[in-house]
Structure 1
């Protein structure tokens, strides 16, 4: 599924220039967001499958989407094996208890010692259900390589499309328009 997508390299990490190679492909078409990830490193994969919180402790691709008019945002995590997790936030790091998280369709193309490839599709109706509107969204795409079970992963392994001013992916005021992702 992800092979037809055009991939771009992560050029920046929370520690400056990215040291481990990871690529992403982002596309919005036919009212669906599609996001693919590729890593060229031996994966650090959770045993979890399906919907599972805590994937960021391992190799994990992430999408953040913000509705600036309300401050609400989504976070979607994807593991190399296709396990995923999602959450709606009413404000920075404040989980929205009034909204079920978005449902995504994930896929895993490959997981080998040389790397991995996985992605997901998110219908825009799910974005609208969770955030109220899909107009004027901003967001960020991130990739954690090497995992961080003890939160000691090197900052160079925490990739981000948006150049963030602190070691924290939850900085919606620094995210980019969807066109800039």
Structure 2
């Protein structure tokens, strides 16, 4: 999966990165309008940007920049990053209003810790349009990712969305296979491909 590499630090409000669309849901049905995302790195952070031009159903406890468990029960964008050598991976949830959550897994759906522990050095941002469309972003410390997950050329990742709550639709940038929607298939994530901005 393409990760945009930027030589200069990125700044919320001045982001100039390409967005990649997801046009089909888990079951192959068209998604219109598309959900869009970008994963980018600058010298300090990995940036995850997500947007959708339709209003979102937010988790009732979601507050901007707050760490909130179970965001996936409502509309959310998700970033998965895995170290294929160790098999460990992180899931980052980003609510359309910039609430967020993270979790480390040692194997598919096997949490490293039973309690919720916020990933350090995360900043989130969001902008809601008058018509309900949204764009949100998360900046994650590269230094911490490199230490915790060996983030780099061998990292695998995926971007997913849950939209249309309560009749949830599941979208995945990477084809994760068939059956019921299950984003926890790290063996199918895509290896990063860094492209200079």
Bucket of the pairwise TM-score, normalised by the shorter protein: 0.7 to 0.9
- Contact 1:59–1:147 under 8 Å retained in 2: yes
- Separation in 2, partners of 1:88, 1:141: 16
Deviation at 1:101, TM superposition (A): 4.2
Report runs of 4+ in structure 1 exceeding 6 Å deviation.
Answer: none
Q: Which of these residues, 6, 9, 18, is aligned with residue 21 of structure 2? A: 9
- Contact 1:11–1:161 under 8 Å retained in 2: no
- Contact 2:22–2:31 under 8 Å retained in 1: no
- Separation in 2, partners of 1:113, 1:79: 17
Q: Does 1:34 find its partner at 2:51? A: no
- Separation in 1, partners of 2:194, 2:24: 14
Please say which of residues 59-68 and 99-108 is displaced more in the overlay.
99-108
Q: Aligned ranges for residues 1-181 of structure 1 at < 5 Å?
A: 1=12, 3-20=15-32, 21-47=34-60, 48-49=62-63, 50-97=66-113, 100-103=117-120, 104-131=122-149, 133-135=150-152, 136-148=154-166, 152-153=167-168, 157-166=169-178, 167-179=181-193
Deviation at 1:114, TM superposition (A): 3.4
Work out the number of aligned pairs and report it: 174
- Separation in 2, partners of 1:18, 1:101: 34
TM-score of the superposed pair, with normalisation by structure 1: 0.86
TM-score of the superposed pair, with normalisation by structure 2: 0.80
Deviation at 1:100, TM superposition (A): 4.6
- Separation in 2, partners of 1:102, 1:130: 10
Deviation at 1:13, TM superposition (A): 2.1
- Contact 1:105–1:120 under 8 Å retained in 2: yes
- Contact 1:12–1:163 under 8 Å retained in 2: no
Classify 1:18/1:101 alpha carbon distance in 2 versus 1 (closer, same or farther; 3 Å): farther
Gaps of at least 5 residues in structure 2 are 1-11
Classify 1:13/1:54 alpha carbon distance in 2 versus 1 (closer, same or farther; 3 Å): same
Gaps of at least 5 residues in structure 1 are none
Give the secondary-structure state (helix, strand or coil) at the position aligned to 2:47.
strand
Give the secondary-structure state (helix, strand or coil) at the position aligned to 1:164.
coil
Deviation at 1:90, TM superposition (A): 0.8
- Separation in 1, partners of 2:190, 2:133: 28
User: Considering only aligned residues, what root-mean-square deviation do their CA atoms show, in Å?
Assistant: 2.2
Greater share of residues in helix: 1
Please say which of residues 95-104 and 19-28 is displaced more in the overlay.
95-104
